[in-house]
Structure 1
């Protein structure tokens, strides 16, 4: 197999190797065309030059197929003009014809075939034989020429077909690599969005609890202790979720991709966490609860989490909030509202994705987000998500 690969890389050497036996065969039988040579005389110089002129160009037949055919054709014509009978070396005409048919266009292949038939017709009808014999000889030669022509065209077509298959395979491989890179970029963007939501929410809870602990540490030790415990629990949860998300980025460890994502079922835990952070919160679910796609459940959870994070950051002391989740035939609605005084800044506080992240998640499912200050104080976020697959 390695030897064949080396030979394919050196086509001229291959042509030389298989042309050498033709040289030897032609030289051995060359004396039969000249009577004096059969008696031990040296071969005729013209006939020797003719053999080399017919066979030597075959070494370059793959590189210049039409040029080689032209040279061999001219040598053969000179042979006919000199009155030399057809020789073993004239098989080079058929080899050159095959090369043109397999490596040039159909027009050149037909032209070479016509020239070959005409070249073989010259000695056939000029050899003193009967017209019928010459016609039979020409019919036989024509069959050979047509067969070689068809075989060469077939190989050229097959070579072009195989080349197109290789190009398509290469293109498909490149497109696959591009799709993989795009999927990796989208996954990293998703992980960045998830990390923002996780860090923003949990750090906000920890900051609120730390402020409460600092305020109550001298007057209410038990309350300060509870706040510190909440900070510790929240920090552990945040670290665990961050490890899960970052684990997806590790090429050698893809276990993170199999860890369940938070969904609607974890909203109760989120509400309790916010309540423990000191924000009075009312949570209600309306309508007949339906089984939602996992990706949509994750978007619901993150939207509620982001809205409550903004409330913790901007609503101020003494504020309360409410979360209403409503199931409909066409999807699910989320309504988060608070009665604070600073949440208007949540639209673009310059510190994170904020409502832009909510809109990205909603747009992924063809949903809508409405976020605005409430007259008289407070802020509300209303989101509607169709219960369908993500819009790609």
Structure 2
């Protein structure tokens, strides 16, 4: 029934026709009475498809009924039609339809009301007219409100999906770009020293394997947050996914020394200084600091010449954590359009912090960020951008 409203309307029209058809009415009034009865009830079958047209038809039949001097209880169909106009039309059209019904109420009271009860009849019919119009308008307002809520819910769902895709894109960029850059640098180093220093070449190959496992663990964690709850999953190395994730915990400040060591092994001389108690920083903020550092150092490894030195400085307080990554390399012309700098800005934006990335006056490149730990914001970061973006 819910999918076929015309069937409900047909039943409503039949019910009004039968209930208001008084005993002996056909015999007393003749066929014209039945025709008027049909004319009042039948159009209700199409009341939702063409509410204004149906109202005009029923009003016209009611006018003919008044001219013929036939009083029929089926006039209630006019109130149903008015209610339908209120649920589908604007308030101006509803008001005009109500005015037509009110005029009919006055004429009907003048013709059929008992002596001395004209005013009482007008008041009663006016109350029913107002009730039909107001109820219909309220229903239309309620439906519009529910539709707006549904649209808002759908929009929030689409935004959530878009945010999740953006997060995955940032994570994949950071994970793949960093680990591939390190693995390529280690492979080049192993190839270069394989004849003169096979032990160093073997160590580089071992670091390549460990970097690959770290990349796999990070990708599992990013694509399937509950991968650690699936002990039966296994990769090609024979390590179960849960075991691999336990070996490579969620990156945070505790993993920064290992990150720096990988960059050193790949050829970027990197120093790390951390001031403050890392226990004050939530795990999500620690992951953000780690990803920012990873991306900044990866850019330095990719875009600066051999011999470049980089410095990572982290300052922690109960209100904020500040990160600075500086290198002394000669950075090529700014590269735009990538996920790198944009991804870092987006990560900082989640904490309502400040972000800056660009070349230094004396040479080199700097990335600095400050995360506000007092509250989590959802807005744009306050930016001061003097340079372009690498990534």
Contact 1:93–1:116 under 8 Å retained in 2: no
CA deviation after TM superposition for structure 1 residue 295, in Å = 3.8
Partner of 1:271: 260
Distance change in 2, residues 1:280/1:149 (3 Å):
same
Of the structure 1 ranges 302-311 and 156-165, higher mean CA displacement relative to structure 2 is found in 156-165
| Distance in 1, Cα, partners of 2:367 & 2:65 | 92
Q: Please tell me whether the aligned partners of residues 62 and 75 of structure 2 are also in contact (alpha carbons under 8 angstroms).
A: no
CA deviations 1:170-212 (Å, max 9, x no partner) are 2211211111111211221121111111112111111111111
* Structure with the greater alpha carbon radius of gyration: 1
Q: Structure 1: how far apart are the matches of 2:264 and 2:213?
A: 18
Moved more, 355-364 or 178-187: 355-364
Q: Does 1:226 align with 2:203?
A: yes
Q: Which residue of 2 aligns with 1:391?
A: 378
- TM-score, length basis structure 2: 0.73
Give deviations 1:219-268, integer Å, cap 9, x for gaps.
11111100000001101111221233233699xx9x99x99752223212
Partner of 1:172: 149
- Is contact 2:315-2:323 (8 Å) kept? yes
The 3-state SS of whatever aligns with 2:196 is: coil
Q: Which runs of 5+ in 1 are unaligned?
A: 31-46, 80-88, 125-133
How far did 1:301 drift?
1.1
Inter-partner Cα distance in structure 1 for 2:26 and 2:364: 109
Q: Give the number of equivalent residue pairs.
A: 342
Out of 101, 105, 112, which is 1:113 matched to? 105
Partner of 2:218: 241
Deviation for aligned residue 1:100? 6.3
Work out whether 1:202 is the aligned partner of 2:179: yes
Q: Distance in 1 between matches of 2:357 and 2:264?
A: 25
Q: How big is the alpha-carbon RMSD for the aligned residues of Structure 1 and Structure 2?
A: 3.7
Partner of 1:86: none
Counterparts of residues 221-370 of structure 1 (less than 5 Å)? 221-247=198-224, 261-287=250-276, 289=278, 291-328=280-317, 330-339=319-328, 341-342=329-330, 344-345=331-332, 348-349=334-335, 352-364=338-350, 365-370=352-357
Shift of 1:352: 4.3
* Contact kept in structure 2, 1:69 and 1:93, CA below 8 Å: no
Distance between the aligned counterparts of 1:366 and 1:235, measured in 2? 32
Kindly provide the CA deviation profile for residues 125-166 of structure 1, in whole angstroms up to 9, marking residues without a partner as x. xxxxxxxxx33xxx2x76456435423432442233233222
Normalized per residue, which structure has more helix? 1
Please name the residue that 1:68 is paired with: 58
Identify the range of structure 1 (112-121 vs 263-272) with the bigger mean alpha-carbon deviation. Answer: 263-272
